[in-house]
């Protein structure tokens, strides 16, 4: 409930601080006294966009602050999801700076208008002429019926599965688009993949092939040089091995004369062994260095294939070609298996569709079950409000489409008088009738939902005194379970309030100021008398006012 409202530097208000209690609160005041200003200020803390022109003093900032007791509204998850501190007494503050910049805070945490308006909608329901037009909107009509049908949890379940269904549809569309485009590329991708697979790519193979090609194409030169090297080592007279043999013999004879000579002998022995091993290596390489034109052609062919693949795919690295091959394999495999993926997704869609049909049918069944009761309550209540011939025609028809609230088409028609055709509510009902219908609907909803604070802005416009008395009774009854405000110009309504506030103007310092105060019992008598008979109070008006209060 709204427990306190503070307004500074807004329109005709210098400073206003007023506290409210639970129950039924009536707000009265002469035309132009500033009741709309009060609502305008309140709307700012509910998320309405700010207007710099509303600043009374253009050099000072406007501050509007409201306190709400929110324990009964189950808003803990909302605060958690929006990173806000949850407090049972929550304070909302809105500031409009002279620069035109606007700031909003919930429990001293800065928030944007989207978060503010979402919270505001769950704290106060301001009923105005504009909102009355919602009667003709299917969304509002569904909300009313689903509240009576207690479809809240069922709708949450349905909407969760609907999101899954829509996700499956989206994925199926993506797969089918992929298939359509992939078929065009499949043949070319398969060709490229076969070409890369045929090359039997391996990391390092290019270097190995280029080395092998160099050896095969220069085999004569290699053999010639190997032969020369072998002769240098093995010549009978001046060969290195023969000379090292003599040197080894010398060092062996010296080795017995000390450790230095022994070490020298070992080093020469090592050199001899290495030279002998090199000679064997020369011999082995010569034996394997035969000319092989066929192998040379094979290596050259492989090299040319690699060079062509590198050029085609714009890379010099075999590792990149291997990566491209893997990517092509994925594309080709995906294309070749896309049909099975599509079939699997279609099966998934059929199952989800079947589940949605069942959930939608359950929701529809509950709606149709409560429709006669809603029709009965509406017509009975409206009869008491001076509309004895009011009738509703509420009809359901199935829809093939999955809508966000099920598979029902709703026809919600109204007739105010006997013998007249049923039609769209906003077309066939007058302003006063619309107000009474909306009040009736809200009173019915209050029995089934934990509604926020309700503020009725002159909902009694266009109705007679007796009817307004009955409307006041309805609002008073609603206020037993919730906080209800009524901005009214009728004494019959104002007299029913548990609390009565008056909005008034006064001139000070050559400026007009709007103020608001709670009236005492005696002040209420005077206010009601003035509403009944004008400023010139008569005994009969005062007596009538006391009678209304009693």
Q: Given this model, what pLDDT does residue 200 score?
A: 79
Q: How many CB atoms lie within 10 A of CB 478?
A: 22
Average pLDDT of the residues of the chain: 87
Q: What is the token pair recorded at 336?
A: 């070749």
CATH of 1-127+451-519, one of 3.30.1600.10, 3.40.50.620, 1.10.287.130, 3.40.50.300: 3.40.50.300
pLDDT score of 286: 76
pLDDT of 499 reads: 96
Q: In which band, very low, low, confident or very high, does the pLDDT at 133 lie, cut at 50, 70 and 90?
A: low
Predicted pLDDT of residue 129: 60
pTM, two decimals, is: 0.68
Where exactly are the structural domains of the chain? 1-127+451-519, 177-337
Within 8 A by CB and 6+ apart from 318, the residues are 201, 202, 203, 204, 205, 206, 306
Let me know how long the chain is: 550
Judged by average pLDDT, the poorest of 73-82, 129-138, 139-148, 392-401 is: 129-138
The 3-state DSSP class for residue 536 equals: coil
Which of 466, 472, 516, 464 has the alpha carbon at shortest distance from 498?
472
Tens of pLDDT, residues 305-351: 777 888 888 887 888 888 888 888 777 776 667 788 889 999 999 99
HSE-up (13 A, CA, CB side) for residue 405? 17
Q: What is the distance between the alpha carbons of residues 516 and 501, in angstroms, rounded to a whole number?
A: 7
Give the H/E segment covering residue 24: strand 24-28
- pLDDT band at residue 130 using 50, 70 and 90 as cut-offs: low
DSSP per-residue string spanning 71-95: GGG--HHHHHHTT----SEEEEEEE
């Amino acid at each position: 409930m709204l427990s306190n409202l503070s307004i500074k530097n807004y329109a005709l208000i210098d400073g206003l601080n007023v506290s409210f209690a639970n129950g039924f609160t009536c707000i009265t005041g002469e035309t132009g006294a500033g009741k709309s200003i009060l609502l305008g200020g309140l709307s700012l803390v509910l998320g309405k966009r700010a207007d710099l022109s509303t600043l009374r003093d253009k050099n000072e900032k406007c501050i509007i602050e409201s306190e709400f007791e929110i324990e009964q509204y189950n808003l803990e998850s909302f605060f958690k999801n929006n990173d806000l501190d949850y407090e049972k007494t929550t304070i909302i503050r809105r500031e409009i700076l002279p620069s035109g910049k606007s700031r909003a805070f919930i429990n001293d945490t800065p928030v944007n208008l989207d978060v503010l308006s979402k919270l505001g909608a769950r704290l106060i329901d301001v009923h105005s002429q504009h909102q009355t037009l919602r009667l003709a909107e299917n969304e509002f009509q569904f909300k009313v019926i689903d509240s009576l049908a207690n479809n809240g949890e069922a709708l949450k379940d349905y909407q969760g599965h609907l999101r899954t269904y829509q996700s499956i549809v989206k994925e199926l569309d993506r797969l089918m688009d992929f298939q359509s485009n992939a078929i065009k590329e499949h043949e070319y991708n398969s060709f490229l993949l076969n070409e890369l697979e045929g090359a039997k790519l391996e990391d390092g193979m290019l270097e190995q092939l280029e080395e092998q090609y160099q050896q095969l194409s220069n085999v004569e030169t290699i053999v010639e040089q190997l032969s020369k090297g072998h002769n240098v080592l093995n010549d009978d007279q001046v060969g290195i091995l023969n000379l090292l043999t003599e040197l080894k013999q010398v060092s062996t004879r010296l080795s017995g004369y000390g450790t230095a000579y022994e070490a020298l002998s070992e080093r020469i022995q090592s050199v001899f062994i290495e030279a002998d091993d090199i000679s064997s290596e020369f011999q082995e390489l010569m034996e394997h260095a035969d000319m092989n034109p066929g192998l040379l052609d094979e290596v050259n062919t492989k090299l040319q294939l690699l060079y062509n693949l590198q050029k085609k795919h714009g890379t010099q690295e075999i590792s990149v070609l291997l990566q491209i091959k893997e990517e092509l394999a994925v594309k080709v495999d995906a294309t070749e298996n896309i049909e099975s993926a599509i079939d699997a997704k279609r099966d998934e869609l059929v199952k989800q569709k079947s589940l949605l049909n069942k959930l939608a049918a359950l929701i529809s069944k509950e709606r149709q079950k409560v429709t006669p009761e809603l029709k009965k309550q509406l017509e009975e209540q409206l009869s008491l409000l001076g509309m004895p011939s009011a009738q509703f025609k509420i009809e359901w028809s199935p829809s093939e489409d999955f809508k966000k609230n099920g598979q029902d088409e709703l026809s919600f028609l109204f007739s105010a008088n006997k013998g007249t055709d049923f039609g769209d509510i906003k077309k066939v009902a007058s302003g006063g009738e619309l107000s009474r219908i909306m009040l009736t609907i809200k009173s019915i909803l209050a029995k089934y939902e934990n509604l926020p604070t309700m503020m009725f802005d002159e909902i009694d416009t266009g109705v007679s005194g007796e009817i307004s008395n009955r409307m006041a009774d309805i609002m008073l009854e609603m206020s037993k379970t919730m906080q209800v405000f009524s901005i009214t110009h009728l004494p019959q309504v104002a007299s029913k309030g548990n609390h009565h506030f008056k909005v008034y103007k006064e001139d000070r310092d050559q400026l007009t100021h709007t103020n608001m105060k709670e009236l005492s019992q005696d002040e209420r008598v005077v206010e009601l008398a003035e509403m009944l008979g004008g400023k010139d109070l008569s005994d009969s008006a005062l007596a009538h006012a006391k009678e209304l209060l009693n």
